[in-house]
Chains A and B, each alone.
With several copies, the nearest count.
Chain A
Amino acid sequence: MGNTTYRDALRKALSDRMKADPDVVLIGEEVGRYGGAYGVTKGLVDEFGAERVIDTPISEPSIVGAAVGAAMSGLRPVAELMYVDFIGMTMDQLANQAAKIRYMFGGQIGVPMILRTQGGTGRSAGAQHSQSLEAYVMHTPGLRLAMPATVSDAYHLLQQSMAQPDPVVFIEHKALYATTGELDDKTPAAPWGKAHVPHLGNDLVIVTYSRQLHYALLAAETLAKDGIEATIIDLRTLNPLDIDTIRLHVERCGRAIVVSEGVMTAGVAAELAARISEECFDFLEDPVIRIAGEDIPISVSPLLETNSVPTPDLIAEAARMMLS
């Protein structure tokens, strides 16, 4: 181990689960022979056949809709949306069907499907291929939401997602596929819904997820040189949200920054900031600071792209300002 990529960890999670459960099927554009736009499903069609790794036409609404019907019919579909940017055309199937079926039908049936997709900046892919749209999902009751930052979570969270009784939107980050790390698939994973705290400090808490975890860790390194000790929380899942872990550390430190690559207004950072502000009010020395995507589309220009979302510098700068 030690040198597994995020991409390979995801593939292994799919493959392990497909071996264990014959009802798991993958369905999406280019998931078969092409191996997925980012290579995650490479080889799976050879291993499991075209009846379980199903290449589709470019029909996102119906891909999600077919997954809904398949999940209601006893399969465990893992649908793939090539870019989270395309979620807009699937929101009806996702939010009005997948998310509400259990409730509308009085609990008769759940929709245990996964929508795997990827988002974020980092490839000069422009305004329609670089977004972080997890807020739409988090705002939709009935949908679970997992966003792995690490190789280990790529594996474990995906495995866990595939065992959920309810629909899970699983958002990978395009800039993380080639990152490497240790994949321990023997020790039991942290429970579903539990945040991870990879760095402990007493001065402030940085709450984040997905690629921004790594930026936060970089910021924490710089800050340490200035004598500022940050606690970093990687949420891993946004629904369920591990408010207990957040509270524990924010009450201890008295200061919090929330970091999200999605645009700031009405985004995940807003929810986290609002939640921390209400839960930890008496402990806060400073307002909860939101470091998030700018309220703008993403440019193809690399310079503008990089500056459209949080950077390690900006996170560190915020922390220094708080503690100065």
Chain B
Amino acid sequence: MRLQTNSRLAAHYHLMRRIRTFEERVGELFVRGQSAGSMLHLSIGEEAAAVGVGSNMRDGDTFTTHHRGHGVFLARGADPRLMMAEIAGKETGYCSGKGGSMHIADMKLGHLGANAIVGGGIPSVVGAGLAARHRKSDNISVAFFGDGATGQGILYESMNMAALWHLPVLFVCINNQYGMGTRIDNATAAPDLHKRAVSFGLEGAQVDGSDVETVAEVAGDLISDARSGKPGFLVVDCYRFYGHARMDKSPYRDETEEAQGRLRDPVAKARQTLISRGEMNDESLDELDRQIAAEMDATIDFAADAREPQLDSIFDDVYDPSTPPPESVRDRLARVLGRARQA
């Protein structure tokens, strides 16, 4: 047993640390030239949003995430090896190497998909909410997205529908203060984002994302309301510790701001709290961190060793396997020119 205590905070610390370490390894994967591309968006600094909300969700609940969604999925039980393999574009990954970091999904764990379109996954939860209502289940569906997605009109359409139809849905805005290089106050004149939700008839709340206990508490309330058909909108205020994606060094932020922002560290805070409450000590925490580090180290090798998708899988899954795949350009060419090629 890794944990020295059974407190909720200790469990949250564990999950958050796993996310933090996983994201650090994603960075390494990139440095090693093993990632599929450089569009890797790390959720470091946002762990409390993922864990605080995710830990209030149940089996059968579903969710969508934005492009910065590794943490949320880990909080919902993802296997980090399969995630890393997907991020590397490998066949063993969650999506057979076709999706990558921005398109991880897993139906078994209720992950209806990460999205590379800002706001693109939001209306899906309206549909999932309709389905839950239709089945008279008490499951909810949660949309996770960034502050930048509040620029997308589709969010307001979806919130309006959720409120109108009393859907078991929660909207979670992870406000890390930036959309790429644009600070929230350059993206809106009204940064109290949750107030918008209230004006559409949802419950709205804003919490300090450096404190996982508060996030979990408020999320818990909103989620139980959502289960009873009262949809909500939760803004988790936090700070994007690093650049937008791996290549971005955030030259548009000043150092003081960054230094201050990184002080809002939910992992460090949870650690301190655990110690100050006497639930764990430096030693037990270090030991836990080491175990997590080892687990996450292994994901890199797992991903690196995995094989690439086979070239002939390229035509699979455009349509259901019961129907013929699209004809390749090469086959068409050969057929059209009437000279079947020899393999």
Contact partner, A102, options B161, B187, B317, Cβ 8 Å: B317
Contact B336 A296 (CB under 8 A): no
With beta carbons under 8 angstroms apart, the residue of B135, B182, B318 that contacts A55 is: B182
- A259 to B323: give the CA distance in the assembly, Å: 27
Is the CB of A278 closer than 8 A to any CB of chain B?
A: yes
Pick the residue among B37, B124, B179, B188 that contacts A72 (CB under 8 A): B124
Among the stretches B1-9, B125-133, B223-231, the one at the interface with A is B125-133
Chain A residues with CB below 8 A from B308, complex form: 301, 303
Q: When the two chains form the complex, which single residue of B38, B89, B130 contacts A301, counting CB atoms closer than 8 Å?
A: B89
Q: How far is the CA of A30 from the CA of B182 in the complex (A)?
A: 7
Given contacts A74-B131, A92-B120, 12 further A-B contacts (CB under 8 A): A34-B252, A54-B130, A54-B165, A58-B119, A59-B153, A61-B123, A66-B127, A71-B127, A97-B120, A104-B103, A105-B94, A129-B116
Asked if B263 is an interface residue, CB under 8 A from chain A, the answer is: no
Residue A124 at the chain B interface, CB threshold 8 Å: yes
| Residue from the list B94, B112, B113, B337 in contact with A289, Cβ < 8 A | B337
CB pair B100–A105 under 8 Å, yes or no, is no
| B residues apposed to A, CB below 8 Å | 36-39, 62, 64, 89-90, 93-103, 105-107, 112-113, 115-135, 141, 148-154, 157-158, 160-161, 164-165, 179-182, 186-188, 252, 308-309, 311, 313-323, 326-330, 332-334, 336-337, 339, 341
Q: Which 4 A-B pairs have the closest CB atoms?
A: A65-B123, A69-B127, A124-B37, A300-B100
Whether A141 contacts B329 by the Cβ 8 Å rule is no
User: 0/1 per residue, A107-126, Cβ < 8 Å to B?
Assistant: 11110000000000001111
Inter-chain CA distance A310–B329, complex, in Å, is: 9
On whether the beta carbons of B112 and A33 are closer than 8 Å, the reply is no
* Cβ-closest chain A residue relative to B324: A240
- Chain B: minimal CB distance from A276 (Å): 11
A240 to B320, CA, bound (A): 13
CB distance B320 to A70 under 8 Å?
no
How many A-B residue contacts, CB cutoff 8 Å? 310
Mark A residues whose CB is within 8 Å of B.
23, 25, 27, 29-30, 33-34, 37, 51-52, 54-59, 61-62, 64-75, 77, 85-86, 89, 92-93, 96-97, 101-110, 123-129, 141-142, 144, 164-166, 240, 264, 278-279, 281, 286-287, 289-292, 294-297, 299-304, 307-308, 310, 314, 317-318, 321-322, 324
Nearest chain A residue, comparing its CB with the CB of B160: A57
Interface centre among B37, B135, B252 (most CB of A within 10 A): B37
Q: Is the CB of A123 within 8 A of B38?
A: yes
Which chain A residues border B313 with CB–CB below 8 Å? 304
Which single member of B105, B311, B327 contacts A105 (CB below 8 Å)? B105
- CB of B154 within 8 A of CB of A61, answer yes
Please report the C-alpha to C-alpha distance between residue A71 and residue B124 in the assembled complex, in whole angstroms.
Answer: 9
Q: How far is the CB of B69 from chain A (nearest CB, A)?
A: 13
Interface centre among B98, B107, B181, B314 (most CB of A within 10 A): B98
Instruction: Tell whether, in the assembled complex, residue A299 and residue B314 are in contact, meaning their CB atoms are under 8 Å apart.
Output: yes
Pairwise interchain contact B39-A123, C-beta atoms closer than 8 A? yes
* Closest A residue, CB atoms, query B154: A61
Q: Given A29-B182, A65-B122, A296-B318, is A321 in contact with B334 using a C-beta cutoff of 8 Å? A: yes
| A124-B100, A294-B314 known; A66 vs B158 contact (CB < 8 Å) | yes
A69 near B157 (CB under 8 angstroms)? no
B127 touches A67 (CB 8 A): yes
Report chain B residues within 8 Å CB of A86: 117
Contact between chains at A69 and B123 (CB < 8 Å): yes
Contact of B181 among A34, A66, A296 (CB under 8 A): A34
Contact B333 A102, beta carbon cutoff 8 Å: no
> CB within 8 A of B36: which of A25, A102, A144, A300?
A300
A62 in contact with B309 (CB, 8 Å):
no
Instruction: Kindly list chain A residues whose C-beta atoms are within 8 Å of the C-beta of B152.
Output: 58-59
Contact check, B334 vs A141: say whether CB atoms are below 8 A apart: no
Q: How far is the CB of A194 from chain B (nearest CB, A)?
A: 13
Residues of B within 8 Å of A144, CB to CB, are: 319
Tell which of B96, B122, B336 has the most Cβ of chain A within 10 Å. Answer: B336
- The distance from the CB of A202 to the nearest CB of chain B, in whole angstroms, is 20
Knowing A86-B117, A165-B320, A300-B103 touch, does A73 contact B39 (C-beta < 8 A)?
no
Contact, CB under 8 Å: A62 / B120: no
Considering the chains assembled together, what is the distance between the CA atoms of A307 and B89 in angstroms?
15
A residues near B337, Cβ cutoff 8 Å: 286-287, 289, 321-322
A102 to B96 Cα, complex, angstroms: 11
Contact of B95 among A55, A74, A106, A321 (CB under 8 A): A106
What residues on A are CB-neighbors of B135 within 8 Å? 74
A and B contact pairs by CB, cutoff 8 A, 14 listed: A30-B182, A57-B188, A65-B123, A77-B127, A93-B120, A104-B103, A126-B103, A142-B318, A294-B328, A302-B89, A303-B308, A304-B314, A308-B314, A317-B333
Contact A299/B123 with A106-B317, A107-B317, A124-B89 known, Cβ cut-off 8 Å: no
Complex CA–CA separation, A108 to B109 (angstroms): 12
Contact of B158 among A65, A75, A106 (CB under 8 A): A65
A33 touching B181 in the complex, CB below 8 Å, given contacts A54-B130, A86-B117, A124-B89: yes
Smallest CB separation, A33 vs chain B (Å)? 5
Contacts A295-B318, A299-B314 hold; do A321 and B333 have CB atoms under 8 A apart? yes
Q: Are A289 and B97 in contact (CB under 8 A)?
A: no
In the assembled complex, which residues on chain B have CB atoms less than 8 Å from the CB atom of A107? 96, 316-317, 321
Q: Kindly report which residue of chain B lies nearest to residue A73, judged by CB atoms.
A: B131
What residues of chain B lie closer than 8 Å to A23, measured between beta carbons?
134
Q: Are A34 and B37 in contact (CB under 8 A)?
A: no
- CB pair A141–B326 under 8 Å, yes or no, is yes
Which B residue sits closest to A123, measured CB to CB? B37
Contact pick for A58, options B94, B113, B179, CB 8 Å: B179
Which residues does chain A contribute within 8 Å of B132, judged by CB atoms? 73
Contact B320 A301 (CB under 8 A): no
From B157, B311, B314, B329, contact of A290 by CB (8 A): B329
